[in-house]
């Protein structure tokens, strides 16, 4: 999650720092991105994806309908993530890191889980590493980011326990970009792992 709750154990960081919940880019994934125009069209197509539609419906039910312009295409130039969610700003799709339509579909599901958490979790503080860790665990677990086929394409071929290892790996990759998690990312993730991994809202169970 991207959190916003103070914690006495958090390392100091500049007040102006904005924390984004970013979808990590695996080092082995980078090849040639799709054209920007195709990426923009791909976002429109992704909005018709059944799980994206479900997440949008659930956001409306909890009182947080998606406003116009919440999802935007961009050239990010980071080479570290495929997109992010920023509280109050919405979802950014990094078109220069997108390879396939499925990448956009999964990214929107991932980031909409962050947006859902931002809406339903009281006092969420994206600067609190435990809060951010919780949402990243949920987003990586529930979005399909760690489906075994995607892991095989990344070169991870362990049969047992790979999904949980993937969720932990990708959660830590995202937390590494949060300055408030410096030196405490793994401890924060471990502290919230059980409750957040098993929290499948708004799904009845993990898809």
Domain locations in the chain?
A: 28-120, 125-207
79-133 pLDDT tens trace: 778 999 999 899 999 999 999 999 999 999 999 999 999 999 988 999 999 999 9
DSSP per residue, 80-143: SEEEEEETTTEEEEEGGG--SHHHHHHHHHHHHHHHHHHHHSTT--BTSHHHHHHHHHHHHHHS
Question: Highest mean pLDDT range out of 65-69, 111-115, 143-147, 149-153?
Answer: 111-115
* pLDDT on residue 148: 75
Tell me the pLDDT tens digit for each residue of 52-80.
Answer: 999 999 999 999 999 889 999 999 987 77
Q: How confident is the model at residue 14, as a pLDDT?
A: 36
Strand partners, 74: 94
User: What three-state secondary structure class fits 73?
Assistant: strand
To the nearest whole percent, how much of the chain has pLDDT over 90?
Answer: 70
Greater model confidence, 29 or 97: 97
Helix (H, G, I), strand (E, B) or coil at 24: strand
In this predicted structure, the answer to whether residue 22 has a pLDDT above a threshold of 70 is no
Q: What local confidence, expressed as pLDDT, does residue 12 receive?
A: 39
The rounded distance, in Å, linking the Cα atoms of 67 and 111 is 15
Q: Which residues are catalytic?
A: 111
Q: Who wins on pLDDT, 133 or 149?
A: 133
pLDDT band at 25; cut points 50, 70, 90? low
Quick one: pLDDT at residue 17? Answer: 37
Q: Whole-model pTM above 0.85?
A: no
Task: Return the percentage of the chain with pLDDT > 70, whole number.
Answer: 86
Question: Hey, what are 101's tokens?
Answer: 């339509």
pLDDT of residue 23: 72
């Amino acid at each position: 999650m991207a959190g916003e709750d103070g914690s006495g154990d958090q390392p100091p960081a500049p007040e102006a720092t904005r924390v984004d919940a970013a979808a990590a880019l695996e080092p082995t994934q980078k090849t040639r991105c799709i054209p920007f125009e195709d990426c923009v069209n791909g976002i429109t197509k992704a909005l018709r994806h059944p799980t994206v539609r479900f997440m949008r419906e659930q956001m409306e039910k909890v009182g947080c309908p998606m406003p116009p312009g919440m999802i935007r295409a961009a050239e990010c130039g980071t080479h570290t993530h495929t997109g992010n969610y920023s509280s109050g700003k919405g979802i950014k799709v990094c078109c220069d890191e997108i390879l396939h339509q499925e990448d956009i579909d999964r990214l929107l599901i991932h980031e909409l889980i962050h947006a859902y958490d931002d809406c339903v979790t009281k006092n969420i503080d994206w600067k609190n590493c435990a809060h951010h860790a919780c949402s990243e665990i949920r987003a990586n677990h529930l979005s399909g980011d760690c489906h075994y086929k995607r892991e095989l394409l990344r070169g991870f071929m362990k049969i047992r326990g790979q999904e949980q290892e993937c969720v932990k790996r990708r959660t830590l990759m995202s937390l590494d970009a949060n300055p408030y998690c410096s030196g405490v990312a793994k401890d924060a993730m471990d502290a919230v792992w059980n409750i957040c991994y098993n929290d499948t809202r708004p799904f009845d169970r993990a898809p």
